[in-house]
Amino acid sequence: MAKLPLQREPGLRQRADGATLVCAYLLALLIIPARLVLSFVPMTLPPALVIALMLGVLWLATQMVDSLGMAKGHNLVRWAVALYLASHLATYAVATRRGLPIDELTTADSSIIRIVATISVAVFICDAIRTKARLDRVMKLILVCVAIIAFVGLVQFGAGVDLASYVSIPGLRAQENGYAAMESRSIFRRPTGTTNHPIEYGLVCAMAVPLGAHYVFKAKDEGTPHVRWLVCLALCGLGAMTALSRTAILGMTVAGLVMIITLPRKRKITTLVVGGGFFLGASLVVPGLFGTLRGMFSNISDDPSIKARTADYAQAYEQIDLNPWLGRGFGTFLPSKYTILDNQFLLSMIENGYLGLAALITMFLAAAVAAIRIRMISDDEHLKSLASCLLAAVLAGGIAAGTFDLLGFGVATGLIFAMIGLTGAALRLARTPD
């Protein structure tokens, strides 16, 4: 009897496929410290970005044939991502035709490479992951990698030792990111893990918390060991808290609300009890942590950092009025030349115009709608739970875009686009289960 195409004999190893390449990208993105870039090229080019560009080229090649296992056909997420890419290409064309100062043109050239590569990852993931088992493998890898990032950050937070600084890879050089690792807020060090900034570190950890909860529940349901997933969940949760970032706390809150709304009633209660116990336990283990977190929100109207973020909004709106529809060029609003804007939506209006901002918001909304759609049409409880995790991550990333310049941080941006791509892949699986 002939075997089904997607079946695999027990004991045989899984052949390398699109999901394998996605895993290679995620390892480069999350595990290699973000400060390490290629030493033999003049522009700032992290290894993950090189892999992303290769995935984009491979995706184009596979669209020309039908024998390489790449999905074809319409997909809501892919269309939204394509619209966002089109907005960037239009902005780049108009900005370079208009003429830019040499420093802004150089940054615009490198920025368009960076965003095209990152968008390519989302499209590749959307079409390359063809089975639920491979989707599950990729999401497990994300959780484990973020737990490792959190562990590195917790060592920075507790012991003041930056393990990431000891990593040296031939062919890569360390680039100064403008932020000194383990600067402090209140009486605490602010960790960065393998990322470039505590805010980015906190958001990455917060996005992985729902995944940790999912795999703990799944392991308990199946009667398999769940301690490793519990450890990953604890590391990610504690990492988000110790980032001492409003963005991370908001991300955790959004993710928690999504999970509580979508979980079965029994698990809602368990999540609330465990979440409350974890927060209380962390506050007891790290004296003063709760007070510092509370202080970040209690006097938010008088917070110097908030005032500094909003002080230049008038100047920002003047810039928007100069090129309202397609913006002045992605990456050209240089912090060293103009000002730092901790709001990606506002920055997108300046650099990509109203059309670029609309495309960015549409992409987040399309991914969220896709995740909700999966929960509506699928009968697979595991896939529906993964859709909740993806919804939580996408919404956390979307809200984070309003609290810091998200697209300026490669690790967080890469992870969010990977999550967006995964929603597209999951939607395909919900419609055509393996």
Please tell me the pTM assigned to this model.
0.93
Q: What is the C-alpha to C-alpha distance for residues 2 and 163, in angstroms, rounded to an integer?
A: 52
Under the banding of pLDDT at 50, 70 and 90, the label for residue 311 is low
Report the pLDDT averaged over residues 290-306.
67
Report the pLDDT averaged over residues 197-212.
95
pLDDT value of residue 66 = 83
CA dihedral 35, 333, 414, 311 (to 10 degrees): 90
Most confident of 2-16, 73-87, 248-262, 303-317: 73-87
What is Dmax (Cα atoms) for the chain? 73
pLDDT value of residue 134 = 95
Query: In sequence order, what are the residues at sequence separation of 6 or more whose Cβ sits closer than 8 angstroms to the Cβ of residue 53?
Result: 113, 116, 117, 120
Under the banding of pLDDT at 50, 70 and 90, the label for residue 308 is low
Residue in the block written with tokens 């920025």 = 111
pLDDT value of residue 62 = 92
**421 pLDDT higher than 70:** yes
Report the pLDDT averaged over residues 78-107.
95
Query: In sequence order, what are the residues at sequence separation of 6 or more whose Cβ sits closer than 8 angstroms to the Cβ of residue 178?
Result: none
Under the banding of pLDDT at 50, 70 and 90, the label for residue 265 is confident
Q: What is the C-alpha to C-alpha distance for residues 227 and 148, in angstroms, rounded to an integer?
A: 16
Q: What is the C-alpha to C-alpha distance for residues 433 and 358, in angstroms, rounded to an integer?
A: 32
pLDDT value of residue 178 = 57
Under the banding of pLDDT at 50, 70 and 90, the label for residue 179 is low
pLDDT value of residue 7 = 46
Report the pLDDT averaged over residues 386-407.
94
pLDDT digits 0-9 by tens, 114-140:
999 999 999 999 999 999 999 999 999
pLDDT value of residue 96 = 95
pLDDT value of residue 413 = 97
**10 pLDDT higher than 60:** no
End-to-end, the C-alpha distance of the chain in Å comes to: 20
Residue in the block written with tokens 């890898």 = 141
- As a whole-number percent, the residues of the chain with pLDDT over 70 amount to 88
With beta carbons less than 8 A apart as the criterion, state whether 413 and 407 touch: yes
Q: What is the C-alpha to C-alpha distance for residues 58 and 143, in angstroms, rounded to an integer?
A: 26
Residue 189's beta-bridge partner residues?
184
**1 pLDDT higher than 60:** no
**237 pLDDT higher than 50:** yes
Under the banding of pLDDT at 50, 70 and 90, the label for residue 340 is confident
Q: What is the C-alpha to C-alpha distance for residues 354 and 346, in angstroms, rounded to an integer?
A: 10
**296 pLDDT higher than 50:** yes
Report the pLDDT averaged over residues 251-269.
87
Q: What is the C-alpha to C-alpha distance for residues 395 and 409, in angstroms, rounded to an integer?
A: 17
pLDDT value of residue 302 = 65
With beta carbons less than 8 A apart as the criterion, state whether 142 and 26 touch: yes
Q: Where are the alpha helices (DSSP H) in 63-98?
A: 76-98
Q: What angle do CA 189, 192, 196 make, to 5 degrees?
A: 135
**295 pLDDT higher than 90:** no
Under the banding of pLDDT at 50, 70 and 90, the label for residue 186 is low
Q: What is the C-alpha to C-alpha distance for residues 157 and 198, in angstroms, rounded to an integer?
A: 11
Of the candidates 158, 164, 410, the one whose C-alpha atom is nearest the C-alpha of residue 286 is: 158
Under the banding of pLDDT at 50, 70 and 90, the label for residue 180 is low
Report the pLDDT averaged over residues 299-321.
73
Q: What is the C-alpha to C-alpha distance for residues 137 and 15, in angstroms, rounded to an integer?
A: 13
Q: Where are the alpha helices (DSSP H) in 198-264?
A: 198-222, 227-242, 246-262
